[in-house]
A and B are shown apart, each in its own frame.
Chain A
């Protein structure tokens, strides 16, 4: 699995675009998959919360990318184009199961449990509790926060993935953290030492 260093979206995929221009669509798609399959899957996980649905959505998105690759006209950067297809696919999936915000508490709980299965098993209770608090955040804050840590704290990448300006991402990140800190205060867990000691 290839991990590229963060680069400007306009220049990052120049090699793939060159392959497309040369008519080497299959080679371009291979390289695109190497570069984007994990990112697309993580975006789907963040938007859908359910690993199985995320896998289906990621695969369907990439099949769509494959089918439409010849139509890619470079008006948007390749990453923007791929993420837009992925988001649209996820939004369709979300619409199908109704809006997440209107889910009942039990369903949210189930999804939180499912999301836990995406990452490693939490070893400490307090980290599991922190995950639950994150899952309970308003959707726009939760998405930004999870993607921010999935993408190794890259605001630029999160902005690309969600199709939002970087300023919006930063604002939502700040608000998400503020909301979490507020909840920790309400629970009497706002002592920094508690989090530093327990999480090491």
Chain B
């Protein structure tokens, strides 16, 4: 770390470094420091570390439970189906759009979401029909 300018700067810096090392000597700890610290700790309200640790662990468990309750858990197969369906829907819409435009004209903007909603409702109705076991009640 040479100082700019004078060629004697390097020598001055080294000399200054030595002088500073002699001047700035680390202060030693007061003789009674440890005793006073122990007294201060004894005077302070007692800390039950075991109890504090247990309380913190409980708090941590609660936070973890709250965090986990916010997650939506999906099976890999379900997630794959969802993503695949989304892509398939996009593809179908892209392919069917010219036909829809021809048949529905300016109403095509409303027709596409309406068809999508109808297909979605039909699929979910079918799924719940099977899940709830209503299909087994029919002859």
The interface of chain A, by Cβ under 8 A from chain B, is: 1, 23, 25, 33, 37-38, 41-42, 45, 51, 54-55, 58-60, 62-63, 66-67, 69-71, 118-120, 122, 126-127, 130-131, 134, 145-146, 149-151, 153, 170, 173-174, 177-178, 180-181, 184, 190-196, 199
Asked if B24 and A149 make an inter-chain contact with CB atoms under 8 angstroms apart, the answer reads yes
Interface flags for B50-92 (1: CB within 8 Å of A; 0: not) read 1011001000000000000000000000000000000000000
3 smallest beta-carbon distances between A and B, as pairs: A149-B24, A118-B27, A192-B15
The B contact surface, by secondary structure, is helix
Inter-chain contacts of B27 with A (CB < 8 A): 41-42, 45, 51, 54, 118-119, 150
A127 closest partner in B (C-beta): B23
Q: Say if the beta carbon of B127 comes within 8 Å of chain A.
A: no
- Specify which of B15, B26, B40, B49 is in contact with A42 (CB 8 Å cutoff): B26
Asked if B1 and A131 make an inter-chain contact with CB atoms under 8 angstroms apart, the answer reads no
Q: How many A-B residue pairs have CB under 8 A?
A: 127
Inter-chain contacts of B50 with A (CB < 8 A): 23
Interface flags for B15-27 (1: CB within 8 Å of A; 0: not) read 1111111111111
Nearest Cβ in chain A — how far from B54, in angstroms? Answer: 10
Give Cα distance in the complex from A168 to B120, angstroms.
Answer: 60
Inter-chain contacts of B56 with A (CB < 8 A): 70-71
Given contacts A71-B52, A122-B23, A173-B1, contact A192 B37 (CB under 8 A): no
B48 closest partner in A (C-beta): A70
The interface of chain B, by Cβ under 8 A from chain A, is: 1, 3, 6, 8-9, 11-30, 33-34, 36-37, 40-41, 44, 47, 49-50, 52-53, 56
Give Cα distance in the complex from A145 to B17, angstroms.
Answer: 10
- Specify which of A62, A134, A173 is in contact with B37 (CB 8 Å cutoff): A62
Inter-chain contacts of B19 with A (CB < 8 A): 126-127, 130, 195, 199
Asked if B49 and A69 make an inter-chain contact with CB atoms under 8 angstroms apart, the answer reads yes
A60 closest partner in B (C-beta): B40
Asked if B22 and A199 make an inter-chain contact with CB atoms under 8 angstroms apart, the answer reads yes
Q: Given known contacts A131-B23, A134-B23, what 8 new A-B pairs fall within 8 Å (CB)? A: A66-B44, A70-B52, A119-B25, A120-B25, A149-B20, A153-B21, A177-B1, A192-B11
Nearest Cβ in chain B — how far from A157, in angstroms? Answer: 12
Inter-chain contacts of B52 with A (CB < 8 A): 70-71
Asked if A37 and B37 make an inter-chain contact with CB atoms under 8 angstroms apart, the answer reads yes
Asked if B44 and A63 make an inter-chain contact with CB atoms under 8 angstroms apart, the answer reads yes
Given contacts A119-B24, A149-B26, contact A70 B53 (CB under 8 A): yes
B27 closest partner in A (C-beta): A118
Asked if A55 and B30 make an inter-chain contact with CB atoms under 8 angstroms apart, the answer reads yes
Inter-chain contacts of A151 with B (CB < 8 A): 26
Give Cα distance in the complex from A153 to B52, angstroms.
Answer: 39
